[in-house]
Amino acid sequence: MNERKNSDCKCDSTKCIKGVVCDVKNCAYHSGESHCYAGTISVGPREASCSANTNCATFKPKECC
């Protein structure tokens, strides 16, 4: 899937990041089908000891887009 489902979104990214699965449907970079359209992603924090302690710092609510 190479087209954005949300045509009102003005984000610059137009292609999904292969291998990244995202289920955060209220993120501006979410494709609507578990893909991420951000140009790059940042995951943290650096001190995390397990996956439950991590988060996507690239997250942006859809209404910001």
What residue segments make up the domains of the chain, in order of their start? 1-65
Q: How confident is the model at residue 32, as a pLDDT?
A: 84
Instruction: Determine the Cα–Cα distance for residues 3 and 45; give it in Å rounded to an integer.
Output: 31
pLDDT tens-digit series, residues 16-62: 888 888 999 999 999 888 899 998 899 999 999 999 999 999 999 98
Burial class (CB within 10 angstroms; exposed 0-12, middle 13-18, buried 19+) of 41: middle
Q: pTM, whole model, 2 decimals? A: 0.66
